Amino acid sequence: MIEIENVRKSFGTLEVLKGIDLTVKKGEVVTVIGGSGSGKSTLLTCINGLEPIDAGRIKVDGTEVHAKSTDLNKLRSKIGIVFQQWNAFPHLTVLENVMLAPRKVLGQSKQAAEEMAVKQLTHVGLGEKLSVYPNRMSGGQQQRMAIARALAMSPEYMLFDEVTSALDPQLVGEVLDTLRMLASEGMTMICVTHEMKFAREVSDRVAFFHKGVMAEIAPPEALFGAPKDPELQKFLAATH
Amino acid sequence: MFSTALTWSDLAFLAQGAAMTLAVTAVSVAAGTLLGILFGVIRVQAGPYWSMPLTFVLDVFRSVPLLIQLVLANAFQSIAKLGWAPFTTSCVVLSLYTAAYCTEIVRGGISSVPATTRRAARSLGMTWWQDMRYIVAPLATRVSLPSWIGLTLGVMKDSALVLWLGLIELLRASQILVTRLQEPLFILLICGAIYFLISFPIARLGGYLEKRWSPND
Ligand SMILES: Nc1ncnc2c1ncn2[C@@H]1O[C@H](COP(=O)(O)OP(=O)(O)OP(=O)(O)O)[C@@H](O)[C@H]1O
Ligand SMILES: [Mg+2]
């Protein structure tokens, strides 16, 4: 369970998160929508402790992320995160990209790591690309590799930050299909996305962010069907 | 017909000079590179503000002519009664000189690794050290290699200046022979050829590594 309580976060004088409360239960899929600069990415990077917070707290399975005593590297190994830019390690093959963290962070044997990597890469449809270098693949393939790389750590939670935004339109589908597959397998996910159709399909709940505030959160039928927040109404009108 | 007074023992004398050049260069480049990596990492980690003193010192080493550094260092070690041999003094000065340039090369290499790539490594649970070791080091090395090869070749040629401290390296050995035999062109030609023979493998090694790494960028 991810528990976010009254989280505040500023960059300098700019308050980016103004008291966010959100609880994501095991197996739940929450998508986050909202305008540019509303704090969506910042919230994700706070959840796995890449960014410090100024107030409030975030607990993952009861462990307070920003407590001094928390072993962040250990915590991060159970929170997978995939970013908008597909951050392949360019000097490693696809297989090596996926094997690296399980070997070095989890201390798995070469054989175990390779087995897991092949399994996850096959899962995202890259079983044929194991010995290829990332620059030889399309953006969609690299993004799926990044997903497999996160999954190889056997995370309990996955955070996705606009993973299709930097892709050519014809490559968006394959990556969204991968996310749908994960959702249907019961993975607990928080997805920041601009793909409204996707959000409607996979979400248990959709959260709308506006200027650092979670202005509305509801199941997709309610949020898209009968939006209450005026800013959300404007936002939806603009995106349709 | 071409004839020369150069004997085999003169050639052996040149070879000894070349060995001295190689020794000074090898020690200085090895020590300078290690220091350069250390300082480069410190500069990146500490940021421009906190590394200002370090940057200042390194700038001094980069801007004062090497000859002046050698002579001053030699004078200093004798005043301070350190009892350093000319070889030691030469290696210390050249190492710091190399380190000053290498620091910039390393800093540039590390900065060339996108922050997003490093964030991806950290978010997989890798420690700062693991990120440095498995992601930053290999990528930065690829970027820095050409400049580092250039630095090494430069240091090898600049090492001729240690003759001012009385070390008989390749150039000094040639000078001695020129004075004695009065065949400057021929001897300098040989001297140049030896410099080339030493440099060539280093330059080729650089070219080879670049080629080997390039398809993976
Ligand atoms: N490292 C940072 N330093 C300073 N300001 C930042 C930093 N990261 C984000 N910001 C600012 O914080 C605000 C929120 O950024 P954030 O990336 O969370 O927005 P977002 O909702 O993800 O937007 P987008 O849809 O464009 O990705 C923006 O105004 C941004 O400029
Ligand atoms: Mg964002």
Domain parsing of chain B, residue ranges: 21-168
Instruction: Please compute the mean of the pLDDT values over residues B66-92 and round it to a whole number.
Output: 94
pLDDT band of B215, cuts 50, 70, 90: low
Low-confidence ranges of chain A (pLDDT < 70): 240
A38 lines ligand 1 (CB under 6 A): yes
Query: Which is the CATH superfamily of the domain at B21-168?
Result: MetI-like (1.10.3720.10)
CA distances, A78 to each of A62, A85, A184 (Å): 13, 21, 19
Instruction: Please compute the mean of the pLDDT values over residues B156-165 and round it to a whole number.
Output: 94
Q: Summarize pLDDT for A146-196 with one digit per residue, the tens.
A: 999 999 999 999 999 999 988 888 889 989 999 999 999 999 999 999 999
Nearest residue of chain A to residue B114 (CA atoms): A87
Confirm if A59 and A45 have CB atoms less than 8 A apart.
Answer: no
Q: What is the pLDDT of residue B125?
A: 94
* DSSP codes of every residue in A126-175: -TT-TTS-GGGS-HHHHHHHHHHHHHTT--SEEEEESTTTTS-HHHHHHH
Q: Which residues on chain B are in Cβ contact (under 8 Å) with A91?
A: 138-139, 142, 213, 216
Q: Summarize pLDDT for B168-201 with one digit per residue, the tens.
A: 999 999 999 999 999 999 999 999 999 999 999 9
Instruction: Please compute the mean of the pLDDT values over residues B50-56 and round it to a whole number.
Output: 93
The CA distance from B45 to B51, in Å, is 9
Instruction: Please compute the mean of the pLDDT values over residues B201-205 and round it to a whole number.
Output: 91
Top mutation candidate among A7, A9, A11, A53 for ligand 1, by most atoms within 8 Å of CB = A11
Residue B214 in this model has a pLDDT that exceeds 90: no
Ligand 1 centroid from CA A42, angstroms? 6
ipTM value for the complex = 0.89
Looking at residue A227, its amino acid is P
Taking the CA atoms of B69, B70, B72 and B74 in sequence, report the sign of the dihedral they define. Answer: positive
Buried b (16+ CB within 10 A) or exposed e, A169-178: eebbebbbeb
**pTM, entire model:** 0.88
Contact A101 B125 (CB under 8 A): yes
